[in-house]
């Protein structure tokens, strides 16, 4: 009996090992292809405008991406085994038919939209996601510029729930991988608008809007492969002016450690100056840029003082220029 259990365990481990090896091979092909594409894009961009392409930024992106790949090598296998075990606990079993695959794809892309929206609307998740938005360039290498904790929290909020619901673990990982690969190709300025595909796909044009810090572009176009969710939920914006990439308050560094930790350090500083537990939780879970009443008053005072000077943009006192006053308040709030 004991020998049968041990033999059975070895069979299961060998089966998992075969699947994990297959995943690792696919990952190797994927990242090798990404490296070639990044290199080709860099050559084309440098030939077009040598000063426009920021080589230091690309190296920072690749450095961050390399750490993520290293972490993934150790975690992906364990995540796969956990997902298979979670699937066994599900009340339903949807199988692996073509219809199930289409439903899973639509559901996965919708969940991607929801998580992406949350990453922009909660300071805690923004601290993770802001790494990806902090580059002032826009090229394929920016797709690699993601937080090192991404694969862990995507497991809890995305992959595990789908497997518990009854979807096949391998299909879940496959479709998630397809969404991420398609996301890689959205990060470029070489591809312009794609005609009728713009109506339902999240194209490079739509994603350029998402990465821009232009006032009209902020918190727009959260979709994964499809842009239909943004059109349904009112977060869609067409690219109709040149995007300015990066955060509203640029971090001005190519240091990978500072890039990954910059928002966490500002969050900790805000927590240390909070006057109550409630205020501390507000800093963590409220949208980025949230400020206490005391800080809001200080911001308004600074903006009013600055506003007494002549507004060079509109040629009149900025106290009577509402739009300019709001911009002043935002700039002081971010400082």
Residues 6+ apart with CB under 8 A from 59: 254
Taking only the tens place, the pLDDT of each residue in 233-271 is 999 999 999 999 999 999 999 999 999 999 999 999 999
Please, which pLDDT band fits residue 18 given cuts at 50, 70 and 90? low
Please, which pLDDT band fits residue 12 given cuts at 50, 70 and 90? very low
- 290 pLDDT above the threshold of 90: no
Of all residues in the chain, what percent carry a pLDDT higher than 70? 79
- Taking the alpha carbons at both ends of the chain, their separation in whole angstroms is 68
Packed helices 169-184 and 98-121: angle between N→C axes, nearest 10 degrees: 60
**What average pLDDT does the structure give for the chain?**
83
pLDDT (0 to 100) of residue 300: 55
Please, which pLDDT band fits residue 2 given cuts at 50, 70 and 90? very low
Q: Which of 244, 62, 55 is nearest to 145 (CA)?
A: 62
Q: Which of 133, 323, 135, 155 is nearest to 221 (CA)?
A: 133
- 331 pLDDT above the threshold of 60: no
CA distance 224 to 189: 18
- 14 pLDDT above the threshold of 60: no
- 47 pLDDT above the threshold of 70: yes
**Residue 60 token pair:** 């920072």
Taking only the tens place, the pLDDT of each residue in 132-151 is 999 999 999 999 999 988 88
Taking only the tens place, the pLDDT of each residue in 79-129 is 888 999 999 998 888 988 999 999 999 999 999 999 999 999 999 999 999
pLDDT (0 to 100) of residue 13: 42
pLDDT (0 to 100) of residue 322: 47
Three-class SS of the chain: CHHHHHHHHHHHHHHHHHHHHHHHHHHHHHHHHHHHHHHHHHHHHHHHCCCCCCHHHHHHHHHHHHHHHHHHHHHHHHHHHHHHHHHHCCCCCCCCCHHHHHHHHHHHHHHHHHHHHHHHHCHHHHHHHHHHHCCCCCCHHHHHCCCCCHHHHHHHHHHHHHHHHCCCHHHHHHHHHHHHHHHHCCCCCCCCCCHHHHHCECCHHHHHHHHECCHHHCCCCCCCCECHHHHHHCCCCCCCCCCCECCCCCCCCCCHHHHHHHHHHHHHHHHHCCCCHHHHHHHHHCCCCCCCHHHHHHHHHHHHHHHCCEECCCCEEHHHCHHHHHHHHHHHHHC
Mean pLDDT (whole number) for 279-291: 87
pLDDT (0 to 100) of residue 308: 52
Least confident of 44-48, 84-88, 285-289: 44-48
Q: Which residues pair with 316 in a beta bridge?
A: 311
pLDDT (0 to 100) of residue 303: 55
The answer to whether 221 touches 207, Cβ cutoff 8 Å, is yes
- 7 pLDDT above the threshold of 50: no
pLDDT (0 to 100) of residue 242: 94
For the entire predicted model, the pTM comes to: 0.82
């Amino acid at each position: 009996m004991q020998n049968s259990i041990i033999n059975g365990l070895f069979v299961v481990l060998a089966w998992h090992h075969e699947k994990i090896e297959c995943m690792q091979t696919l990952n190797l092909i994927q990242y090798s292809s990404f490296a070639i594409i990044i290199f080709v894009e860099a050559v084309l961009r440098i030939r077009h405008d040598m000063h426009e392409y920021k080589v230091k930024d690309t190296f920072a992106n690749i450095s961050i991406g390399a750490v993520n790949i290293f972490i993934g090598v150790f975690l992906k296998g364990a995540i796969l085994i956990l997902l298979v075990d979670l699937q066994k606990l599900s009340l339903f079993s949807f199988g692996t038919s073509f219809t199930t695959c289409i439903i899973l794809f639509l559901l996965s892309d919708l969940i991607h939209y929801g998580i992406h929206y949350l990453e922009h609307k909660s300071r805690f998740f923004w601290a993770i996601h802001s790494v990806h938005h902090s580059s002032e360039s826009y090229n394929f290498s920016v797709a690699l510029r993601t937080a090192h904790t991404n694969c862990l929290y995507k497991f809890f909020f995305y992959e595990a729930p789908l497997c518990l619901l009854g979807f096949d673990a391998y299909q879940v990982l496959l479709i998630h991988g397809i969404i991420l690969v398609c996301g890689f190709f959205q990060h470029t300025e070489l591809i312009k608008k794609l005609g009728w595909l713009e109506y339902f796909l999240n194209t490079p044009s739509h994603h350029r809007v998402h990465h821009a810090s232009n006032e009209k572009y902020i918190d727009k176009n959260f979709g994964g492969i499809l842009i239909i969710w943004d059109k349904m939920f009112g977060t869609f914006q067409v690219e109709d002016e040149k995007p300015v990439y990066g955060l509203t308050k640029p971090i001005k560094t190519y240091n990978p450690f500072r890039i990954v930790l910059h928002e966490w350090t500002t969050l900790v500083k805000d927590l240390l100056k909070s006057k109550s537990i409630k205020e501390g939780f507000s800093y963590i879970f409220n949208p980025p840029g949230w400020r206490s009443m005391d800080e809001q008053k200080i911001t308004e005072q600074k903006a009013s003082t600055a506003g007494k000077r002549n507004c060079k943009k509109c040629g009149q006192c900025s106290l009577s220029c509402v739009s300019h006053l709001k911009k002043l308040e935002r700039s002081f709030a971010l400082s």
